[in-house]
Structure formats: structure tokens, C-alpha cells
């Protein structure tokens, strides 16, 4: 059951009610039961077994790792635990490739592995309460699609189990509503336009491919960011704070900056547990060490998204961008200083535009069915752009070249909602951060915006499609 399912709201109300009734001490049990219950709703018994197995293995291994003074023994136990988690992850990926349900496996296995490393490195103590640890891995707001929570961030909150507070309930509810808006009213309304090109790519060229790719960039972001905001909102209702996963990613001025803003919980996991150890291992290669570590890290990132060549190419593409950036940094910095553009707003804008297009190039491979199809689309987008732009300028064939074969009114509505989302995002961020309300416009602006969001979600939201990142 996803957050957009009609049954989810009664489920959430019931869990909140039960959590309020049992009090803080036993709330972990209610949340754990709810989390396993929700996971069982995906209808695949092996998933529950996998979650329970990863929980048991990582919980046990961490306790042993912590008590062993001998470094070699600790490493062997750690490797055994990580291998167990990786085994479940690989089985999950292969199962997903064969059409089996593997919802959430990528997320809880990563958390379990990170926890084992953290216990070994004494970043966190091993958790001694199996129930709390199980809840840390399975907490239902972030179980299916993240954020990938670090033990040091979430476990202390679960141990302390904060009181349920009306302010948290209100802020969490607003964040949840905002997430629903992003998902149902914007992302799912953009999806048919994207699918019109990527679902039937034959003959699509020039502006059609470019527009569909821009729209896919928006759809993917709002789909994932919408889910994350819903997850953060639900956790907030219980007084718990989850990791923020996005920070205006398309405003990034470099691909490295993009990865500091996109799927932050995952990219920081890659940075800490894959890239840095690799960089250390490859330090003897001097200037080549970091680029090679980046390539390997983003190969892992691609494979984490799925056992398909599209994701491998997408990961490697980002690895190449970052490796090239690392290799050319001294040269680029020198030229930027010479030209006097470093830190200047027009140059930052130029960097943003270039970065956005590099990321979009990656999204073509991410979205297309195969790398070959993606390469053909990129080729046709570039070769067909001058001709199709000229036809658009003459007002010819706009339905195919601009509106992607969709009803113009539906396109206008989707794009209007995209603009509305961009305009409202700063205000929503302020509310959720708890910025004090001052002045009549802020006090009375919020009810108006919330009512508009409620109306749009309830009456004009698309029939929910599954979340894009749920498949990973």
C-alpha cells in the first residue's frame, strides 16, 4: 500500500490513534506492527521474510562486532553481515528483474549495511533492543522508498520517542499534503506527456524529445521529492525527523553539486561507504585515484538502481562527468580566474544551465528502455532540433512537436501546476521549518494555499501511478 492509496489515510489515522493511546514507552511496538503490516500489504511474503532476516542478521552481527576486541575478527563478522545483506539485495534486484516484487529491499539492506559499518567504526553503539532496531529498519514512512536513514540520526529519536504534539501533527500534515500535490497533481499529470515520447520513441525527434526530457526531469524530481515530503510529513506527525533528501537539485552549478542536492541520503551513503574507502585504497594511483573511485562509485549507483544496462550506462555517465571534472579542475579554475568569471552570477547561471543539461542527458538513458534507444533519441534530438524549431517558429505541427500529442488543455494544466509548485515551494519550506508567522499575509495566506492544495489534490489529482523510485 503506497501513500496515495485511498486506504492509506484511514491506516495512518488508525496508527496515530493507537500511538496516542499506548503512550511513548510502548509506541515502538505500535509503529513496528504498523510497518510490518503496511509492508505485508504489498502482498509478497518473501519481502517480509527478507526484512526480518536482514534485521536479525545485522542486529546479531553488530552485537558481536561491538564485543570483539580483535580487529580481524570484527572485520570477518562484519563481512559476513554485509554479505548477508548484499545477498538479499542481489536476490531482490534479480527478483525485480524477473518481475517479482522487491519493494523497499534496496533501502533497508543499505541501512543495515551502513549500520554495521558504523558499529565497527564506533560511530554508533550496537542497539540492544531488537524491537527498536527492527523499527529503525522498517519504520513505514521511509521503508519503501527512503530516505536512507543513518542509525546515528534515527535510532536516538526512536529511543527517546518524542511526545505526540499538535504542532508536529499540523506541520506533518501540511508536508504530507504538499507531497501529495507534487505527486498527484504535477508529476502524474506530466507523466502522459513524457510517456508519449519515451513510450513510443519511433519517429520522435528534435523539440519533442527535448521537451519530453525536460518534463521527465521535472516528473522524476516531483515524484521522488513528493514521496519524500510525504514520508517526512508522516514521520513528523509522530514527532520524528527524517533526513531531507532534496535541496533544489536543478539549481546545482556542477554535477558534483547536483549529487549534494539530489537523493541526499543515498549519495551521502555512497560518499561515506563506497567512494571514500575506494579513494583511500586507490591513493597510490595519485591523480587517477579519485577519478577511478568516482567511476566505480557511480557504477555501483547505477547497479543499485537495477540490473539493467540503462542504469549501468546512466551511472557510468555520471561517473565520467565527475571524473572529468576532477581531472580538469586545476585547469578550469585557472581559466576561470584569468577570465574573472569565478563567483559571478552570470557565470553561475551558465554553470547551472550546463549542469542541468548534463543531468538531462543522463535522464535520457535512465528513462529509455535500452541504452541503444537512448543513444538514438539523443541523436535524433540533436539532429532534428534546428528543423523542428523552425517548424515550431512557423506554428507548424505544434501538437506533435510541442504538445507531444496530448490535449492542449491538459498540457497547459500540467505546466501551470509545475509553475505553481515552483512558486509555492519556498513558502511550504518556511511553514515546515516553523518560521514564525508574522503579518496578515502570512497568517491568512496559509489557509488559502492549503485549501487550494486540498482542492487540487482531491479533485484534480491524477489517478495515482506507482512511484518511479519505488522500483529501485
Partner 1 sequence: MRTWSRRLAQLLLFAATLEVAARVDDALTHGASPWSRHGAEVLRFVDGEGIVRNVPGARFEKWRINALGFRGPEVAREPRPGVPRVVCLGQSESFGLYESPGEEWPAQLSRLLQPTHPGLEVINASVVGTGRSTRRAYVERSLLPLRPDVLVLLPSPFNEATETVRPAPPPRPGPAGQPPVLRAPPKLKLRLIGALPAALVERFRAAANARTLRKLEASELHGEPPLDRIPDQAVADHERHLREMVALLRARGVRPVLATYPTLVHPENLGALSHVLDAERIYRVWFSARGLIDAGERLNAATRRVAAGLHVPLADLDAAVPRDRTHFADDVHYTDAGAHVVAEVVAAALAAEVPGATASRSPP
Contacts with partner 1 by CB under 8 A lie at 6, 443-444, 446-448, 450-452, 454-456, 458-460
Reported as half-sphere exposure (CB side, CA atoms, 13 A), residue 78 has a value of 21
- Looking at the Cβ atoms of 12 and 88, the one nearer to partner 1 is 12
Neighbours of 263 (CB within 10 A): 22
Q: Shortest distance, CB of residue 173 to partner 1, whole angstroms?
A: 13
- Looking at the Cβ atoms of 73 and 458, the one nearer to partner 1 is 458
Nearest-CA neighbor of 37 among 66, 75, 10, 61? Answer: 10
298 is written with which cell numbers? Answer: 557511480
Neighbours of 310 (CB within 10 A): 21
Sign of the torsion angle spanned by Cα atoms 325, 329, 331, 336: positive
Neighbours of 235 (CB within 10 A): 25
- Looking at the Cβ atoms of 13 and 200, the one nearer to partner 1 is 13
Q: Shortest distance, CB of residue 185 to partner 1, whole angstroms?
A: 13
139 neighbors 154 (Cβ within 8 angstroms): yes
- Looking at the Cβ atoms of 142 and 183, the one nearer to partner 1 is 183
Q: Shortest distance, CB of residue 434 to partner 1, whole angstroms?
A: 16
Q: Shortest distance, CB of residue 452 to partner 1, whole angstroms?
A: 6
Query: What is the C-alpha separation between 38 and 19, in angstroms, rounded?
Result: 15
- Looking at the Cβ atoms of 8 and 356, the one nearer to partner 1 is 8
Q: Shortest distance, CB of residue 223 to partner 1, whole angstroms?
A: 21
- Looking at the Cβ atoms of 6 and 203, the one nearer to partner 1 is 6
Q: Shortest distance, CB of residue 192 to partner 1, whole angstroms?
A: 18
- Looking at the Cβ atoms of 289 and 445, the one nearer to partner 1 is 445
CA dihedral 112, 118, 120, 124 (to 10 degrees): -110
Query: What is the C-alpha separation between 315 and 3, in angstroms, rounded?
Result: 29
Q: What would the DSSP string read from start to end of 133-177?
A: HHHHHH-HHHHTT-----HHHHHHHHHH-PPP-HHHHHHHHHHHH
- Looking at the Cβ atoms of 285 and 460, the one nearer to partner 1 is 460
Query: What is the C-alpha separation between 155 and 133, in angstroms, rounded?
Result: 7
- Looking at the Cβ atoms of 419 and 448, the one nearer to partner 1 is 448
Q: Shortest distance, CB of residue 174 to partner 1, whole angstroms?
A: 12
Who contacts 421 (Cβ-Cβ below 8 Å, separation ≥6)?
181, 182, 186, 222
Query: What is the C-alpha separation between 334 and 220, in angstroms, rounded?
Result: 36
Q: Shortest distance, CB of residue 455 to partner 1, whole angstroms?
A: 4
Q: Shortest distance, CB of residue 222 to partner 1, whole angstroms?
A: 21
- Looking at the Cβ atoms of 407 and 452, the one nearer to partner 1 is 452
Neighbours of 282 (CB within 10 A): 16
Q: Shortest distance, CB of residue 206 to partner 1, whole angstroms?
A: 32
39 neighbors 140 (Cβ within 8 angstroms): yes
User: H or E element: which one contains 280?
Assistant: helix 276-281
Amino acid at each position: 500500500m503506497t501513500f496515495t492509496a485511498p486506504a492509506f489515510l484511514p491506516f495512518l489515522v488508525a496508527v496515530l490513534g493507537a500511538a496516542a493511546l499506548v503512550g511513548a514507552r510502548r509506541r515502538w511496538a505500535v509503529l513496528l506492527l504498523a510497518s510490518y503490516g503496511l509492508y505485508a500489504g504489498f502482498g509478497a511474503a518473501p519481502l517480509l521474510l527478507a526484512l526480518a532476516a536482514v534485521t536479525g542478521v545485522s542486529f546479531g552481527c553488530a552485537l558481536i562486532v561491538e564485543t570483539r576486541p580483535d580487529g580481524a575478527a570484527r572485520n570477518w563478522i562484519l563481512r559476513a553481515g554485509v554479505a548477508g545483506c548484499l545477498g538479499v539485495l542481489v536476490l531482490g534486484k534479480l527478483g525485480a528483474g524477473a518481475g517479482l516484487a522487491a519493494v523497499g529491499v534496496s533501502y533497508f539492506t543499505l541501512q543495515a549495511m551502513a549500520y554495521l559499518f558504523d558499529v565497527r567504526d564506533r560511530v554508533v553503539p550496537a542497539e540492544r533492543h531488537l524491537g527498536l532496531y527492527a523499527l529503525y529498519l522498517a519504520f513505514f514512512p521511509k521503508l519503501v522508498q527512503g530516505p536512507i536513514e543513518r542509525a546515528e540520526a534515527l535510532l536516538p529519536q526512536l529511543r527517546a520517542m518524542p511526545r505526540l504534539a499538535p504542532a508536529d501533527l499540523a506541520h506533518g500534515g501540511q508536508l504530507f499534503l504538499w507531497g501529495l500535490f507534487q505527486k498527484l497533481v504535477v508529476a502524474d499529470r506530466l507523466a502522459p506527456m513524457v510517456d508519449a515520447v519515451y513510450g513510443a520513441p519511433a519517429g520522435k525527434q528534435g523539440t519533442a524529445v527535448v521537451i519530453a526530457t525536460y518534463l521527465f526531469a521535472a516528473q522524476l524530481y516531483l515524484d521522488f521529492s513528493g514521496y519524500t515530503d510525504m514520508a517526512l510529513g508522516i514521520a513528523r506527525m509522530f514527532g520524528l525527523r527524517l533526513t531531507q533528501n532534496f535541496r533544489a537539485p536543478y539549481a546545482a552549478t556542477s554535477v558534483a553539486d547536483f549529487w549534494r542536492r539530489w537523493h541526499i541520503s543515498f549519495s551521502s551513503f555512497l560518499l561515506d561507504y563506497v567512494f571514500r574507502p575506494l579513494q583511500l585504497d586507490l591513493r597510490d594511483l595519485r591523480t587517477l585515484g579519485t577519478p577511478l573511485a568516482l567511476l566505480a562509485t557511480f557504477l555501483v549507483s547505477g547497479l543499485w538502481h537495477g540490473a539493467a544496462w540503462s542504469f549501468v550506462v546512466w551511472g557510468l555517465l555520471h561517473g565520467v562527468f565527475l571524473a572529468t571534472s576532477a581531472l580538469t579542475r586545476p585547469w578550469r579554475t585557472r581559466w576561470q580566474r584569468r577570465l574573472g568569471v569565478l563567483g559571478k552570477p552570470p557565470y553561475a547561471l551558465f554553470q547551472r544551465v550546463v549542469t542541468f543539461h548534463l543531468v538531462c542527458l543522463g535522464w535520457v538513458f535512465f528513462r529509455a528502455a535500452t541504452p541503444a534507444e537512448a543513444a538514438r533519441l539523443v541523436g535524433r534530438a540533436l539532429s532534428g532540433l534546428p528543423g523542428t524549431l523552425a517548424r515550431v517558429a512557423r506554428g507548424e505541427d505544434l501538437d506533435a512537436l510541442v504538445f507531444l500529442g496530448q490535449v492542449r488543455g491538459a498540457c497547459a494544466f500540467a505546466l501551470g501546476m509545475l509553475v505553481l509548485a515552483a512558486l509555492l515551494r519556498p513558502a511550504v519550506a518556511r511553514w515546515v521549518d516553523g518560521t514564525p508567522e508574522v503579518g496578515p499575509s502570512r497568517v491568512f495566506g496559509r489557509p488559502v494555499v492549503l485549501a487550494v492544495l486540498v482542492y487540487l489534490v482531491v479533485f484534480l489529482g491524477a489517478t495515482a501511478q506507482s512511484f518511479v523510485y519505488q522500483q529501485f
